[in-house]
Structure formats: structure tokens, C-alpha cells
């Protein structure tokens, strides 16, 4: 059968085999899809669905032990699955280019941006170095990097995340490839930067008529950018079609489930808040000083500037902001992992900000923290039950009783108590986050500080953990400080919201008020940048209520 | 248990382990196979190996049984290697853990001390220590341990530096754990694998250091050690070369075995680094 002339890349029954001992025998099984010129195909799926393996299989960049064991990758009349290393080198960069999730690790830290983009030309063409320089500048102007001349001379660490991703895009588009593979290119970026990069990719694609294979886990991004959508689950495409039809009329149950898990930007009706304040943060400041000898040449970074907040008993206070806004520093000041420079944090009549280390250790059971990364926040060499029981044991509970208590907590956070003698690596990301939650709850805290507690999780798992958190708040009478960069998540769970920018709180109030009637221009910019914000609201309304 | 399986799949590592077990078996069986004092005169001096069934590996220039000395020497080499390694790793982990965990001026002071030790060549420092404190088996062992700790200290410090700000350590801190509990209970178990692997290097070097001392007649002359035998054979090296060569091979095999085991441990404990 002849492929339609418009298709640039056709995957035909592509299967990729995983080494024995993996969670399933095939990373991809029988994936067929095609991308036409001048269109953006979004491949959506949760982590582990095989979407990145697919991108790497197309480029023949599979890790060792992972092999293509069936199907074809047709690109310009050639089967890339059977291409030799020499042939592939000619295709990579010139025929198919790729951009990655984390531009900092994808760029060589020892070369300037200009040199790295120039490399594309010196490898694939025989232009003179002056011509290469001119082309590099033109490219950097194309991706609308501020001060292209300066950027060409800069090293990767001297640029911001968004600028680095622009440089990556410039490099990928240097040789006018027919196909651009973008593997989660905006996932590591702040929401406002993400919106800019998405617009940029869309514009460049229109102008250069490149085909784009865009891999993402975020339905908001899909709504923003896709012409067509393919939904992936466990290594197979379960649904594909036009963006509009898939987004508004999903056929497969998995697609529906994924879309239902995307939190809408409308907050639930406000709950009645207690007049009783449990935690009062007053004028907290923290400044980092690094380097310098006797105060000379030191770098001073004010991370948190005069923040004052009040947490009513039983309420959830969301602190939202982009990376570098100081929200994590603030959280760490509240649990005294970091000592604030000035200000007071009053909990139950005691000032946490100035308490001695010894007193903090004793009082720490009143205020506990849940961490962002479910993989890094659990000691890999302790069993789950030990992890949860550790806190009570330190505070004087007999070990046997603490372990029994840990098993009860397992039930409370929705884990099987019989799994409590397993090690953390035997649990999934969502389960690990539940262990982290159980560990924090083991000390029966009054205040829980959750630092990006659901940010590393897939949407469907995220929804479950948020539901669990809301349920526990009710049952245990917890007061929660919920720190997140994701406004959609904040809208779901928070009663009150404080928006932070550059270490300051620029706006705070009831969640409904802040999201529906933002006062500060920065809050408005944040809300406008949410990918697929309008689409999510509309489609949410059209969806049947999920359980 | 995965680590054990990975170790057993590595032929070089298994070879090393077998060789090491043979040396250990020699050390254990020495008293049964050669019940006589190995340093006592046994027969005519300088009998070539395989020429007299009573002395399978021949005799040295004083007429002592070489095979008996090799077997008994295995005890000394393993003892010095083992004890000196434990001393070196203990000092190194202690200093490295404190320097890495606390940082700041504690780190500065401890690392300057470490550097002071590192800038002196190991062997020169060892000679000084032995010259000052004498050359009994105990002082030699301690001296070898004392000159070998800086590298494990730096390694432990580097591990602690990268681990101390991990989220799981912060989480344990928010639970109210004391610093010493954080160091011993949380960070150390995660920092140990590379240190254990490095211990094999320390052990191999310790065995070599003792041999080198003995070669210069500076080790304890009252014990049968491989180094002493090499030193003895030096006088007859041009004709009866086997007197030095046989203990030399024993040292080579032991050090090789320890290194292979160390490499195997490294591959088994850090599976992701393999295949580089």
C-alpha cells in the first residue's frame, strides 16, 4: 500500500521490546500513526505509557537492552528502524530534529549557545564560519530570544530556562528539518514561560511548515497546540483523531478518564472558615548570602521578603507562584529546615522562628511536611513501616506500638497494610506519596505543610491524592499550607490563596475571589497562561460528572 | 539480594572471590598442614622447588621451608590487610561524615588535616611511624591503617555532601531526629556502598605497604610474612630467584583477588554504572 503523499512520518505496527524483568514485555506494541507535513500531532499519555520510548525509537536513540522488534518507521521512503548508524546520523538534525524536556541537561555546559547551534551547520553543511555566524543570529532572532547577539555568546547556565528552551528550538530548526519531535518541551518551565514557548512553536511551525510530533502529559497543552491527538496507554494508541473531536467527544474510556482528572480552574464553593487562627506568619524574611570574603563580592539573594500570612484552623492556604518566587523557602522556614532572618511564626502561642534547635526537635510533631519528590523523599534503605514509624519512635513511642500505628496509617492513606514491610522502590509514585503523607501524619500534626506534594504525579494519581488530602483534612481537623506552581491544583483544594512573586506576596484572599477576580496584574498573567484554560473550563462543563 | 545475584553473574568477580577464598583457606589451614614453627630451620638451605618432596616449594637461604612460610604468611598479610583497612575506613568515615554533614569551618579544619596527610607520600609517612614507634606487628598494622585513611575520608565527605540536602534527610529532620541519628541512621547507610568498594583498594594497598616495609627489613622480623621472605630472597636474587618470586606471586594473587572482588562489588552495588 502506498502511503498518502502528505504523510512525512509513518509508524507502521511499531513494537519496542523491553529487557526481561521490566514491568511489561513491550514498551510499545503495534503502534501505528502518521504525521503529515504542516501539522502538529500531540501524543498524550501518563508516565510509563511509552510515549518517550516512541520518540527515541524513531530517532534510534533507545537505551541499551531496549530494541525495536517489529514494525516499520517510514520517513521519506526509508525504514528508519532498519537504517544503519551512518544513515541515521544524516537523518538526525537534518531530517528529524528533537527538543527535550530539560534544556539545561540537553545543552553542553562548556560551549556557548552560538557555538552549539553553529555545530549543526559545520557538521551537516560546508558553510564558511562567517556564514554560520549569520545563520545562527538569524535563528536566534527567529525564536525571539532577547538580545540574540548576547545570547549567542552566552553559556547555557547564563540563560533562563525559557531562553534555553528557545535556544534548543533554534538548534533543532537550524537545518529546516521536515519533522520536529518535541518531548515534553515545556514541562520543566513555568506556566507563563510555557505559554510563550507554545506560541513560539505554533508560529514557527506555521511559517516553516514543519511537521511536529509533540509529546506531553498535559491535556491543557494539547488543547493549546494540537491539530491531531493520539492518546497512549501501556504502549498502545487507544484513540486518535482531530484535536477538536478528541477533546470534546472522547470515545475511549481511558481518554475520558484522563480528561476528567485534569483539574478545572473553577474552585469548589467556599467552605466556612474558622475565626480561630492556628498559625500566624508575620513579616518573615530570608536572604541568602553566598561567597565573598569579609563581605566583599558576596552575592545577596533575598528569597522571601516580609511575608505575613494567617492560617485559620482547619483551612487550606495555598501559596502559588513560579519557580524562584520563594514559596519553597517560605515552606522550609515554616518547618524550620531554614532559619528565617527576621519575623515571627506563631503556632499555639510559641514563636517558631526564634525557637532553639532543641525546642524545634521537641515541638516538630505539631507541624509536619510532605515533600515534592516521592522518589527522593523516602530513604531507599528503610522499609515503608519503619519510615512511617520513625517519627513516633523518635518522640518516645515504643517501637512495637509505633509499627502498629504505622499499619493503621497505611489504611488511612489508602495503602494495603500488608505492604508495609516493603522498600520504597517497590511502590509506585502515587503510593510513595501516600507513604510520605502517612509519615507526616504519624506525629498527629496540627499543621501540614505540603510542598508541591502532587506536582510530580500523573494527573489521575494527582486527583486521587488531592481527594485523599481533602478527606484527611476533614477527618483529622488538619490545617494545611499547600504550596504549588499549578493554579489548577490550587483551585481544587485551597480555601485561601496567596500569590508570590520575587519573594513577596502580591495578592491574597479567598480562592474563589483570587481566581475569578484577580486584582494584581501578575495573578492575571498567571491565570491567562494556564494552557488550555478556556478549553478546560468548557470541556469540563460538557463532561459527565466523574466519580 | 539482587546485588548477590549480579555479583555471581560476573566471571571476573567470581574468580577474584575464589582466589581470595583460597588465600583465606591457606591462612586457616596453616597450623594443620605445617604444624611446625615456620621460621625454624627445616633442612638444607636453598633447595629448589619440586626437587625434594619434603619441601615442595624448596627452602630459603637459611634453610626454612618456603611453603610453610607462604601458608603462615597468608595469615599475616590478611591480618594486616584486614585490620589496617578497618582502621583506615573507621577514621576516614568518621572524619568524612562530620566534615560532609556539618560543612563550614568544621569541614575546613578537617579537610586541611586530611590534605596535610595526603601531601606526604604514604610510604614515607609509614617509614617515619615505624622508625619512631618500632616495628612490631601491632605498630606496623596501626601505622599502615593510619597512613591510608585520607582517601576514604574524602570519598565519605563527597557522599555526605550530596546526600545531606536530599529530601529524605530533610524529611527525617522535620520528624525531629538528632544530627547523630541523621548521620548514622539516614545518611551513612546510603553513603556506604562506594566506601565499601574503596575498602578493597585500601586492603590491597595495605598488603603491598607491609610487603614493601618487610622488603626493606623494617617489618616485624619475628613473624613469617611474605614481605620478609622477599626481603630475604633479595640476597640470592640472581641465582635462587624463586625465594623472592614465590612470595611475590602470592602477593600478586592476593592483591589481584582483592581488587577483583572490589570491582565486582562496585558493579553489583552500582549496577547503573556498569556498561560504561
- CATH homologous superfamily for the domain A277-529: P-loop containing nucleotide triphosphate hydrolases (3.40.50.300)
Domain coordinates in residue numbering, chain A: 277-529
DSSP assignment of A400-435 equals HHHHHHHHHHHHHTT--GGGGGS-GGGS-HHHHHHH
**What is the four-CA torsion angle of A316, A320, A325, A327, rounded to 10 degrees?**
20
Residues of B with Cβ-Cβ distance to A369 under 8 angstroms: 170-171, 174
**Would you call B175 and A335 a contact, using CB atoms and an 8 Å cutoff?**
no
Span A309-357, pLDDT tens digits: 999 998 999 999 888 788 888 999 999 888 899 999 998 888 888 888 8
B149's grid cell = 585513611
CA distance B167 to B188: 15
pLDDT-wise least confident of A36-45, A490-499, B24-33, B230-239: B230-239
Residue from B164, B166, B174, B177 whose CB has the most chain A CBs within 10 Å, to mutate: B174
A438: confidence class by pLDDT, cuts 50, 70, 90 = very high
A539's grid cell = 470541556
Cβ contacts of A19 within 8 Å, gap of 6 or more: A65, A66
Radius of gyration of the CA atoms of chain A, in A = 25
Residue among B171, B177, B190 whose CB faces A377 most closely: B171
- Counting residues of chain A whose pLDDT is more than 90, the rounded percentage is 21
Residues of A with Cβ-Cβ distance to B189 under 8 angstroms: 379, 381
CA distance B211 to A95: 63
CA distance A41 to A362: 55
How close, in Å, is residue B66 to chain A by CA atoms?
48
Residue among A335, A373, A376 whose CB faces B174 most closely: A335
From A362, A89, A528, select the one nearest B177 (Cα to Cα): A362
A356's grid cell = 532553639
Residue written as cell 514557548? Answer: A197
Residue written as cell 546520523? Answer: A89
CA distance B40 to A107: 70
**Would you call B173 and A395 a contact, using CB atoms and an 8 Å cutoff?**
no
The order of strands in the sheet holding A78-79 is A26-36, A7-17, A67-75, A78-79
Residue among B174, B186, B189 whose CB faces A369 most closely: B174
A391: closest chain B residue by CA:
B175
CA A418 centroid distance within chain? 31
Residue among A361, A365, A378 whose CB faces B168 most closely: A378
CA distance A163 to A304: 25
Residues of B with Cβ-Cβ distance to A378 under 8 angstroms: 168, 171
CA A11 centroid distance within chain? 28
Does position A276 have pLDDT exceeding 70, yes or no? yes
Residue among A361, A372, A378 whose CB faces B178 most closely: A361
Q: How many CA atoms lie within 13 A of A477 on its CB side?
A: 7
Span A116-149, pLDDT tens digits: 999 888 888 888 989 999 999 999 988 888 888 8
**Would you call A379 and B181 a contact, using CB atoms and an 8 Å cutoff?**
no
**Would you call A371 and B170 a contact, using CB atoms and an 8 Å cutoff?**
yes
Residue from A380, A390, A438 whose CB has the most chain B CBs within 10 Å, to mutate: A390
Residue among A371, A381, A395 whose CB faces B176 most closely: A395
Residue written as cell 483551612? Answer: A315
From B82, B83, B75, select the one nearest B32 (Cα to Cα): B75
B188: closest chain A residue by CA:
A381
**Would you call B176 and A362 a contact, using CB atoms and an 8 Å cutoff?**
yes
Residues 48-87 of A with CB under 8 A from B: 64
Question: What does pLDDT average to over chain A?
Answer: 85
Q: Is A252 exposed, middle or buried (0-12, 13-18, 19+ CB in 10 A)?
A: middle
Query: What local confidence, expressed as pLDDT, does residue A547 receive?
Result: 38
A293: confidence class by pLDDT, cuts 50, 70, 90 = low
**Domains in chain B, start-ordered, CATH in brackets?**
2-273 (1.10.3720.10)
Q: What angle do CA A319, A315, A341 make, to 5 degrees?
A: 45
Could you tell me the CA-to-CA distances from B228 to B77, B112, B123, B179, B248 in Å, in that order?
Answer: 11, 36, 17, 47, 11
Q: For residue A386, count other CB atoms closer than 10 A to its CB.
A: 19
| CB B155 within 8 Å of CB B194 | yes
Beta carbon pairs, A and B, within 8 Å: 58
**Would you call A376 and B167 a contact, using CB atoms and an 8 Å cutoff?**
yes
**Would you call B167 and A379 a contact, using CB atoms and an 8 Å cutoff?**
no
Residue from B9, B166, B167 whose CB has the most chain A CBs within 10 Å, to mutate: B167
Scanning A218-365, the segments in alpha helix (DSSP H) are 219-225, 243-248, 253-261, 327-334, 357-363
Q: What is the residue-level pLDDT of chain B in tens, covering all 276 positions? A: 677 888 888 888 899 999 999 999 999 998 888 888 888 877 777 778 888 788 888 888 888 888 899 999 999 889 999 999 999 999 999 999 999 999 889 999 999 999 999 898 889 999 999 999 988 889 999 999 999 999 999 999 999 999 988 889 999 988 888 899 999 989 998 898 889 889 988 998 998 898 888 888 888 888 888 888 888 888 888 888 888 899 999 999 999 999 899 888 888 877 655 443
Amino acid at each position: 500500500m502506498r502511503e498518502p503523499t502528505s504523510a512525512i512520518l509513518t509508524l507502521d505496527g511499531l513494537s519496542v521490546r523491553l529487557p526481561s524483568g521490566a514491568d511489561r514485555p513491550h514498551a510499545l506494541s503495534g503502534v501505528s500513526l502518521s504525521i503529515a507535513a504542516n501539522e502538529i500531532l500531540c501524543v498524550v499519555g501518563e508516565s510509563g505509557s511509552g510515549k518517550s520510548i516512541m520518540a527515541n525509537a524513531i530517532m534510534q536513540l533507545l537505551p541499551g537492552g531496549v530494541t525495536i522488534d517489529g514494525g516499520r518507521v517510514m520517513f521519506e521512503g526509508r525504514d528508519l528502524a532498519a537504517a544503519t548508524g551512518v544513515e541515521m546520523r544524516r537523518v538526525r538534525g537534518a531530517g528529524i530534529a528533537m527538543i527535550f524536556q530539560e534544556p539545561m541537561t540537553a545543552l553542553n555546559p562548556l560551549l556557548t549557545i552560538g557555538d552549539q547551534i553553529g555545530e549543526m551547520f559545520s557538521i551537516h553543511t560546508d558553510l564558511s564560519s562567517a556564514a554560520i555566524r549569520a545563520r545562527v543570529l538569524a535563528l536566534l532572532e527567529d525564536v525571539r530570544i532577547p538580545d540574540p547577539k548576547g545570547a549567542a555568546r552566552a553559556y547555557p547556565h547564563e540563560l533562563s530556562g525559557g531562553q534555553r528552551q528557545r535556544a534548543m528550538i533554534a538548534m533543532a530548526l537550524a537545518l529546516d528539518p521536515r519533522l520536529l519531535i518535541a518531548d515534553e518541551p515545556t514541562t520543566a518551565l513555568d506556566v507563563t514561560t510555557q505559554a510563550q514557548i507554545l506560541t513560539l512553536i505554533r508560529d514557527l511551525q506555521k511559517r516553516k511548515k514543519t511537521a511536529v510530533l509533540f509529546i506531553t502529559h498535559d491535556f491543557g497543552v494539547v488543547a493549546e497546540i494540537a491539530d491531531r491527538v493520539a492518546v497512549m496507554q501501556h504502549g498502545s494508541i487507544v484513540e486518535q483523531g482531530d484535536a477538536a473531536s478528541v477533546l470534546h467527544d472522547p470515545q475511549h474510556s481511558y481518554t475520558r478518564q484522563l480528561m476528567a482528572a485534569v483539574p478545572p480552574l473553577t474552585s469548589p464553593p467556599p467552605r466556612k472558615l474558622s475565626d480561630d487562627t492556628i498559625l500566624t506568619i508575620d513579616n518573615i524574611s530570608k536572604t541568602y548570602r553566598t561567597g565573598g570574603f569579609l563581605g566583599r563580592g558576596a552575592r545577596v539573594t533575598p528569597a522571601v521578603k516580609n511575608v505575613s500570612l494567617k492560617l485559620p484552623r482547619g483551612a487550606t492556604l495555598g501559596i502559588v507562584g513560579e519557580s524562584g518566587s520563594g514559596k519553597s523557602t517560605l515552606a522550609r522556614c515554616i518547618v524550620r529546615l531554614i532559619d528565617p532572618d527576621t519575623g515571627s511564626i506563631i503556632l499555639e502561642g510559641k514563636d517558631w522562628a526564634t525557637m532553639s534547635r532543641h525546642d524545634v526537635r521537641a515541638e516538630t510533631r505539631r507541624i509536619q511536611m510532605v515533600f515534592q519528590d516521592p522518589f527522593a523523599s523516602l530513604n531507599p534503605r528503610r522499609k515503608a513501616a519503619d519510615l512511617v514509624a520513625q517519627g513516633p519512635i523518635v518522640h518516645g513511642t515504643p517501637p512495637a506500638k509505633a509499627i502498629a500505628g504505622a499499619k493503621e496509617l497505611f489504611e488511612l492513606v489508602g495503602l494495603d497494610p500488608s505492604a508495609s514491610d516493603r522498600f520504597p522502590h517497590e511502590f509506585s509514585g502515587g503510593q510513595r506519596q501516600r507513604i510520605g503523607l502517612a509519615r507526616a501524619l504519624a506525629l498527629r500534626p496540627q499543621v501540614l505543610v505540603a510542598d508541591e506534594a502532587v506536582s510530580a504525579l500523573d494527573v489521575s494519581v494527582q486527583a486521587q491524592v488531592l481527594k485523599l488530602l481533602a478527606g484527611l483534612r476533614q477527618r483529622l481537623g488538619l490545617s494545611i499550607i499547600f504550596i504549588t506552581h499549578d493554579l489548577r491544583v490550587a483551585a481544587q483544594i485551597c480555601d485561601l490563596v496567596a500569590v508570590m512573586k520575587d519573594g513577596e506576596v502580591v495578592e491574597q484572599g479567598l480562592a474563589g475571589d483570587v481566581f475569578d477576580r484577580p486584582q494584581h496584574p501578575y495573578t492575571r498573567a498567571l491565570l491567562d497562561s494556564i494552557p488550555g484554560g478556556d478549553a478546560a473550563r468548557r470541556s469540563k462543563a460538557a463532561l459527565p460528572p466523574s466519580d | 539480594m539482587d546485588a548477590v545475584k549480579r555479583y555471581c553473574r560476573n566471571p571476573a568477580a567470581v574468580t577474584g572471590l575464589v582466589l581470595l577464598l583460597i588465600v583465606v583457606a591457606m591462612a586457616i589451614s596453616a597450623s594443620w598442614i605445617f604444624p611446625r614453627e615456620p621460621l625454624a630451620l627445616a633442612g638444607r638451605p636453598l633447595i629448589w622447588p619440586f626437587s625434594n618432596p619434603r619441601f615442595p616449594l624448596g627452602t630459603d637461604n637459611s634453610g626454612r621451608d618456603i611453603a610453610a612460610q607462604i601458608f603462615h604468611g597468608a595469615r599475616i598479610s590478611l591480618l594486616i590487610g584486614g585490620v589496617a583497612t578497618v582502621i583506615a575506613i573507621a577514621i576516614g568515615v568518621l572524619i568524612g561524615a562530620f566534615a560532609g554533614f556539618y560543612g563550614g569551618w568544621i569541614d575546613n579544619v578537617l579537610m586541611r588535616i586530611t590534605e596535610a596527610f595526603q601531601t606526604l607520600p604514604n610510604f614515607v609517612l609509614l617509614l617515619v611511624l615505624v622508625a619512631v614507634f618500632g616495628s612490631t606487628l601491632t605498630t606496623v598494622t596501626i601505622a599502615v591503617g593510619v597512613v591510608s585513611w585520607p582517601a576514604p575520608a574524602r570519598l565519605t565527605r563527597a557522599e555526605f555532601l550530596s546526600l545531606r540536602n536530599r529530601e529524605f534527610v530533610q524529611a527525617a529532620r522535620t520528624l525531629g531526629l538528632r544530627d547523630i541519628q541523621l548521620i548514622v541512621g539516614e545518611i551513612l547507610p546510603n553513603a556506604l556502598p562506594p566506601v565499601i568498594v574503596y575498602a578493597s583498594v585500601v586492603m590491597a594497598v595495605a598488603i603491598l605497604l607491609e610487603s614493601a616495609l618487610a622488603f626493606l627489613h623494617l617489618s616485624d622480623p619475628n613473624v613469617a610474612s611474605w614481605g620478609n621472605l622477599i626481603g630475604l630472597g633479595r640476597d640470592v636474587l640472581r641465582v635462587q630467584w624463586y625465594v623472592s618470586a614465590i612470595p611475590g606471586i602470592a602477593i600478586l594473587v592476593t592483591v589481584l583477588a582483592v581488587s577483583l572482588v572490589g570491582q565486582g562489588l562496585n558493579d553489583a552495588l552500582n549496577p547503573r554504572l556498569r556498561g560504561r
